[in-house]
Structure 1
Amino acid sequence: MAATRFAPDRGLSVRMAVTMFLLGLLYVAFTAVLIAAGARAVTVLVIAAGLLLAQYFLSDKIALFAMHGREVSPEEAPELHGIIDRLSALGGMPKPRVAIADSDIPNAFATGRNQKNAVVCVTTGILRRLDAQELEGVIAHELSHVAHRDVAVMTIASFLGIVAGLMTRFALYSGLAGGGRRDNNNGPPIGLIIFLVSGLVYCVSFLLTRALSRYRELAADRAGALLTQRPSALASALTKVSGDIARIPTRDLREAQPFNAFYFAPALSGQSVATLLSTHPPLERRLEQLARISAALGR
Structure 2
Amino acid sequence: MSYAKTALLLAGMTGLFLAVGYLLAGGSGMLIALVIAMGMNFFAYWKSDSMVLRMYGARQVDRSSAPELYGIVERLAENAGLPMPKVFVIENEQPNAFATGRNPANAAVAATTGLLRRLSWEEVAGVMAHELAHVKSRDTLIMTITATLAGAISMLANFALFFGGNRNNPLGIVGVILMMVLAPMAAMVVQMAISRTGEYRADAEGARICGQPLWLASALEKIEQAAQRIDNGAAERNPATAHLFIINPLHAHKVDSLFSTHPRTANRVARLREMAGATTTAARGPWG
Q: TM-score over 0.5 for the alignment?
A: yes
- The residue type paired with residue 221 of structure 2 is T
Instruction: State the distance in 1 between where 2:57 and 2:229 align.
Output: 22
Contact 2:192 2:261 in 1 (8 A): yes
The equivalent position to 2:269 in structure 1, one of 287, 293, 296, is 287
**Counterpart residue number, 1:170:** 159
**Counterpart residue number, 1:215:** 197
Contact 1:99 1:120 in 2 (8 A): yes
Q: CA deviation at 1:28?
A: 6.0
Instruction: State the distance in 1 between where 2:19 and 2:63 align.
Output: 51
Distance 1:195 1:63, change over 3 A: same
| Helix, strand or coil at the partner of 2:183 | helix
**Matched pairs, number:** 281
**Counterpart residue number, 2:9:** 19
**Counterpart residue number, 1:228:** 210
**Counterpart residue number, 1:132:** 121
| Helix, strand or coil at the partner of 1:143 | helix
| Helix, strand or coil at the partner of 1:88 | helix
Instruction: State the distance in 1 between where 2:14 and 2:234 align.
Output: 37
Give a deviation string over 1:74-110, Cα, whole Å, max 9, x none.
Answer: 1101111100110111001101001111111111110
Q: Which runs of 5+ in 1 are unaligned?
A: 1-10
Contact 1:168 1:195 in 2 (8 A): no
Matched, 1:57 2:46: yes
Give a deviation string over 1:162-186, Cα, whole Å, max 9, x none.
Answer: 44323212122x2x44xx3658xxx
**Counterpart residue number, 2:284:** none
Give a deviation string over 1:39-60, Cα, whole Å, max 9, x none.
Answer: 6344444344333322221112
Distance 1:27 1:253, change over 3 A: closer
Identical-residue share of aligned pairs (%): 35
Instruction: State the distance in 2 between where 1:18 and 1:236 align.
Output: 34
Q: CA deviation at 1:287?
A: 0.8
Q: CA deviation at 1:153?
A: 1.5
- The residue type paired with residue 282 of structure 1 is R
Q: Which runs of 5+ in 2 are unaligned?
A: 282-288
Instruction: State the distance in 2 between where 1:252 and 1:34 align.
Output: 33
Q: CA deviation at 1:271?
A: 5.2
Instruction: State the distance in 2 between where 1:25 and 1:46 align.
Output: 13
1:138-217 superposed matches below 5 A = 138-158=127-147, 160-172=149-161, 174=162, 176-177=163-164, 180=165, 188=170, 193=175, 196-197=178-179, 199-217=181-199
State the structure with more CA Rg: 1
Instruction: State the distance in 2 between where 1:256 and 1:28 align.
Output: 25
Q: TM-score, normalised by structure 1?
A: 0.82
Instruction: State the distance in 2 between where 1:255 and 1:181 align.
Output: 34
Contact 2:21 2:29 in 1 (8 A): no
| Helix, strand or coil at the partner of 2:59 | strand
| Helix, strand or coil at the partner of 1:222 | helix
1:63-74 superposed matches below 5 A = 63-74=52-63
Instruction: State the distance in 1 between where 2:221 and 2:263 align.
Output: 14
